[in-house]
Amino acid sequence: MTPGAYLDHAATTPMSAAALAAFVEEAGKAGNASSLHAAGRAARRVVEESREQLAAALGARPSEVIFTSGGTESDNLAIKGIFWGRRSEDTRRTRVLVSAVEHHAVLDPAFWLAGHAGAEIVLLPVDGEGRVDLDALRAELAAHAQETALVSVMLANNEVGTIQPVREVVRIAHQHGVPVHTDAVQAVGQVEVDFAGLGVDALTLTGHKVGGPVGVGALLARRDLPIEAVQHGGGQERGVRSGTLDVPAIRAFAVAAADAATTHTERAAHLAGLRDALVAGVRAAVPDAVLRGPDPATSSGLRLPGSAHFTFPDAEGDSLLYLLDSAGVQASTGSACQAGVPQPSHVLLAMGVPEHEARGALRFSLGVTSTPDDVAALVAALPTVVARAQAAGLVGGGRS
């Protein structure tokens, strides 16, 4: 177990006991799920039963589940695969619409397509709480529906926790015949995730954010969705994603995701209680800290129950992070995928937060193993940590 107060569940979660047991049970067995002998057929049976379990938990058909190595691969497969699939049907379809606050696993492949495949990327603006501007989406599609390959808007933001109006995005896009992808990596286990109910054409999720192992995930994709393979080889997973299937990881992932999805109401209540205590504690300990994203006191249904994101005036996020870590509290400055990159969050900048304020950001994210003691440890350490970080900023000559 990780020592200290672990408040970085948005980066990764510990494996659940059930998922770990499932992983260990399968890891001791031989058998490639693509082999035709008895061991291979047994492995294939585990994969297909896991596919059925995952689909049932997320409101999908088993045939719509494509196993991948995780969220990043699933997002790349969705953005590149749908773009190429749609453009192969109509070469005019070169526009890709993504919200300005997407994870880099969506933004980077989109911009790669712009640099290498003739795509035109449109960043949909968001408001001050990080919610996508639906009027901007309507206007883009009204003017350029025939040229639009796809729309991608995440279900819940990984930094500030804002829940996006994905059903409305789908309604608008489908009026113009444009498919929608959503990155639901942060949402599973905290809010209801129903693939059919959302109406999206493709949905990304991953194992290690829901109590499963690192290195496995899935893309849920409608069977009739035009999608080209990004990875080629043995033709596994509908011919869309080649590669030997990781049977132990897939079973553990399905166990964890099914548990997270079916218990999300209880989890959400647990997390929301801790989050509200954390928000109140941070505001009392550091009165000039600014909560980013929807305020749970007035808009609790518009943000993830386990997410709290603050900016601290005149303090650098990295300094805050290291000082908290020394005090036994583990948090993050934003996406773990961007850790160590000394630049303000693109999410905060898109929300209109000034750059000098965005540099003082910390994300606190809770999970099923979080306790009131974790929150208390943060609140106790924070005043001294913020004071030291602010002093270090002044000694260093302030902000540029």
Q: What is the pLDDT of residue 3?
A: 64
Which residue reads 């509200």 in tokens?
Answer: 276
Provide the pLDDT for residue 342. Answer: 62
- Report residue 117 as tokens: 């495949």
pLDDT at site 335: 56
Give the strands of the sheet with 120-124, arranged side by side.
65-68, 217-221, 202-206, 180-183, 148-152, 95-99, 120-124
Which pLDDT does position 400 carry in this prediction? Answer: 36
Query: Identity (one letter) of the amino acid at 339?
Result: A
- The helix-helix angle for 104-116 and 71-89 (nearest 10°) equals 40
DSSP calls for 33-81 = TT--SHHHHHHHHHHHHHHHHHHHHTT--GGGEEEESSHHHHHHHHHHH
Distance in angstroms (rounded) separating the CA atoms of residues 207 and 214: 6
Task: Report pLDDT for 300.
Answer: 74
pTM for this structure?
Answer: 0.95
Beta-strand relationship, 290-292 and 202-206: unpaired
Predicted local distance difference test score (pLDDT) of residue 54: 98
Q: Could you tell me which of 63, 90, 80 has the C-alpha nearest to residue 223?
A: 63
SS3 (DSSP) at 8: strand
174 by Cβ neighbours in 10 Å (0-12 / 13-18 / 19+) ranks as middle
Q: Which residues pair with residue 203 across a beta bridge?
A: 182, 220
Distance separating the N- and C-terminal Cα atoms of the chain? 40
Q: Does the annotation count 337 as an active-site position?
A: yes
Q: For position 338, what pLDDT does the model report?
A: 52
**Cβ atoms 46, 251 nearer than 8 A:** yes
Q: Which of 337, 349, 376, 392 is catalytic?
A: 337
**pLDDT number for residue 41:** 97
Of the CA atoms within 13 Å of residue 45, those in its CB half-sphere come to: 8
* Structural domains of the chain sorted by starting position, each given as residue range(s) with its CATH number in brackets: 5-13+264-395 (3.90.1150.10), 17-262 (3.40.640.10)
What pLDDT score was predicted for residue 399? 42
Contacts of 154 (CB under 8 A, 6+ apart): 99, 101, 102, 103, 106, 164, 182, 183, 184, 185, 186
Write out pLDDT tens, residues 300-324: 789 999 999 999 999 999 999 999 9
By CB neighbour count within 10 A (0-12 exposed, 13-18 middle, 19+ buried), where does 256 fall? buried
Q: Within the chain, which residues score under 50 in pLDDT? A: 1-2, 397-400
Residue 359: per-residue pLDDT: 95
Question: Taking a C-beta distance cutoff of 8 angstroms, is the pair 309, 278 a contact?
Answer: no
